[in-house]
Amino acid sequence: MATSNQQVSVALAQAVLPEGNPGDTPTQFDFVVTRSGETGAELSVGWEIQVAGTDPAEVNDLAPGQLTAGTVNFDAGEEQQTVSVFIAGDSAVEADEQFTLTLDANGLPAGTTLGTASAVATISNDDPTTVFISPSLAQAFDEGNPGGNPATFSYTLTREGDLNQELTVNWQVTPQGDFAVDVDDFGGSLPNGSVTFEAGASEANTPITFAASTDSAVEPDEQFQVELSLAASAPAGTLLQLEEVGGRIVNDDVLPPPEVSIADHSQAEGNEGTTDFTFTVSRTGDTTDEVTVDWA
């Protein structure tokens, strides 16, 4: 067999590409295999897809029908061939995944060596990180009386998806509904703040917590909502599952029992005929029910 002094290497046209979604045209990684030196003879080089990195790709990450091994065939004088690897799109939130295309030195003719024998491809997750507020249903607590325990609301934020980066979420209490809260229900200002997810954390470092002001006034239940927004520094692709969640301060004050009274009335008797006297009957306290009062 003739000896040819040549070197074969592989490189990626683009090393990082988005995964894509179901139904999309499959993402295509192009591995460019080149040879240099004495290229006057035909050459066949085997290749194989292998796992790589801390989050390796799996077989089901490849598009249906994608081969995991094969051979590159160079005609005499040909110096470049391309191996295309197609990726299956999905909608799962997951870490970026890696794989390599590695050249096989077995069976190469004498004098032929491998330069860069493998190239690492990264399938970039393009599915959003989602932030959830729990509980997602509105909370309702008794308002409380002066000197007692106030209504305290607490909401926990969690996230799923790519947890590798720190994330800050802002929150603001706003009035809501026909009987809405105002600043007096919270000591003079509507509560607001922010919570942070540390890198790697699925739950925010603190819950959203705030308390209402107590009072003894009888009033309707009062409503509000907690509005969420992402900080400007939020990683691209982050989504809020809910942008607001409700709350209600429940009135726990009661009116005193109803009390009926009649006012004294005096006027001149008159010199002839009859004189009408009008007496005003009034009630105080709880007036929600109908009341009948006899008089004599």
Q: What is the pLDDT of residues 69-119, one digit of tens each?
A: 999 999 999 999 999 999 999 877 677 899 999 999 999 999 999 999 999
Q: What's the rounded Cα separation, in Å, for the pair 173 and 191?
A: 6
Whole-model pTM above 0.75?
no
- Check pLDDT > 60 for residue 135: no
- Check pLDDT > 80 for residue 155: yes
179: β partners:
none
Q: Which of 155, 245, 237 is nearest to 204 (CA)?
A: 155
Sign (positive or negative) of CA dihedral 62, 63, 68, 73: negative
Domain ranges for the chain, please list them.
6-124, 130-250
Class of domain 6-124: mainly beta
| Per-residue b or e along 75-98, where b marks 16 or more CB atoms closer than 10 Å to that residue's CB | eeeeeebebebbbbbbeebeebbb
pLDDT at 134: 61
Calculate ∠ Cα 288-291-296, nearest 5°.
Answer: 155
Overall average pLDDT of the 1-15 stretch: 86
Give CA 246 to chain center in angstroms: 18
Contacts for 232 with CB less than 8 Å, ≥ 6 apart: none
Q: Which of 1, 72, 5, 63 is nearest to 43 (CA)?
A: 72
- 6-124 and 130-250 share one CATH topology? yes
Q: What is the pLDDT of residues 236-252, one digit of tens each?
A: 778 888 888 889 999 87
pLDDT at 255: 66
Class of domain 130-250: mainly beta
Helix (H, G, I), strand (E, B) or coil at 92: coil
Overall average pLDDT of the 216-230 stretch: 90
Q: What's the rounded Cα separation, in Å, for the pair 114 and 7?
A: 5
How does residue 32 score in pLDDT terms, banded at 50, 70 and 90? very high
| Per-residue b or e along 20-47, where b marks 16 or more CB atoms closer than 10 Å to that residue's CB | beeeeebbebebebbbeeebeeebebeb
